[in-house]
Amino acid sequence: MRLVAEQNGEILVVRAMEDRIDAACAIQFKDRMREITQDNCPRVVLDMARVAFLDSSGLGAVVAVMKALAPDRRLELSGLTANVQKVFRLTRMDSVFVIHAEVPDGLRHAG
Amino acid sequence: MACMAYPSAAHLCAQVVIPADPLAVREGLKALFDTILLRSLPEDRRGTAEIVLAEALNNIVEHAYARHSGDIEITLDLRGPDLVCRILDSGLPMPKETLPEGRLIARADVSNLPEGGFGWFLIRALSRDLDYRRVGGRNLLSFRLNTQQAMV
């Protein structure tokens, strides 16, 4: 599970580099996210633009990461592809997360 | 893993047999979605099919084969506007030989958000004619997916 993180001020952008977050890698995803978000960045944006497929295990892992950061820190999402968006919408998790169409402005080329 | 797609006069059909583990599910789905049958579906319908099939297969790996290993046989038939899906496994039967309800749990606050239990909800929301039965000591799960109109 490859995740690439870059920090810009108060925001940590984590890019999921795999095309799926599924039952085969959900635990690994959760563990890697826990490591990456150890530093106290108040906002974490998970960029899922490359993720074409997310199953319920993947969704559970994203929810678990969000709960681990709460209540002091926020997990936001960006770049949801059509099929991933469908899973969030059907399970009504789209109302739980702050979801950006793309990585918030000014952060796309952050390094 | 064996995967084949064969056209006949009446319909297109594809079948794959995989061992029950999460990586094999991933590979099996990849093989199925590379078949002529599934490549012929509109993008949105392919996406829906992958969600439902993945949830059904993950459930079998996690629960039916919780105590022993075995195979899962997936057969897809295109019949008119419907993709007819049949999944057979030799694992444990469903509790009370009944399908889980798969209701979304009403959420209270972030700390109480469910991290699971979405699978059967998604299967029920996206499929039709969902049926489960024990056949000759095996589990047979079947359902239909509309391949033409967007259901959601």
> Percent helix, strand and coil across chain A, each rounded to 5?
35, 25, 40
Name which of B56, B58, B51, B65 is nearest B99 in CA terms.
B56
Name which of B92, B115, B66 is nearest A67 in CA terms.
B115
Distance to chain A for B10, nearest Cα, Å: 30
Burial of B146 (0-12, 13-18, 19+ CB in 10 A): middle
Q: Do B122 and A60 touch (CB under 8 A)?
A: no
Residue B81 in contact with residue B148, Cβ under 8 Å?
A: yes
Q: What CATH number labels A3-100?
A: 3.30.750.24
Strands B12-19 and B2-7: antiparallel
Q: Which residues of chain B approach chain A closer than 8 Å at the C-beta?
A: 22-23, 25-26, 43-44, 47-48, 50-51, 54-55, 58, 61-62, 104, 107, 110-111, 113-119, 121-122, 125-126, 152
| Element of type H or E holding B130 | strand B128-135
Alpha-carbon gap, residue A12 to A27, rounded angstroms: 21
Alpha-carbon gap, residue B40 to B12, rounded angstroms: 10
- What ipTM is given for this predicted complex? 0.91
Split into its structural domains, chain B has a count of 1
Question: Angle CA(B122)–CA(A29)–CA(A88) in degrees, nearest 5?
Answer: 30
Q: Residue B40's domain spans which residues?
A: 10-146
Q: In CATH, what number is assigned to the domain containing residue B96?
A: 3.30.565.10
Q: Inform me whether the pLDDT recorded for B7 exceeds 60.
A: no
Residue B108 lies in a domain: yes
Residue B4 lies in a domain: no
Q: Which of B44, B58, B117 sits opposite A23 (nearest CB)?
A: B58
Residue B64 lies in a domain: yes
Residue B152 lies in a domain: no
Alpha-carbon gap, residue B25 to B61, rounded angstroms: 9
Confidence of residue A110 (pLDDT cuts 50, 70, 90): very low
How does DSSP classify residue B60?
Answer: I
Report pLDDT digits (tens) over B38-68: 999 999 999 999 999 999 999 999 999 999 9
Give the start-to-end residue ranges of the domains of chain A. 3-100
Residue A29: helix, strand or coil by DSSP? helix
Residue B151 lies in a domain: no
Number of A to B CB contacts under 8 A, please give it: 80
Report pLDDT digits (tens) over A60-93: 999 999 999 999 999 999 999 999 999 999 999 9
On whether any CB of chain B is under 8 Å from the CB of A3, the answer is no
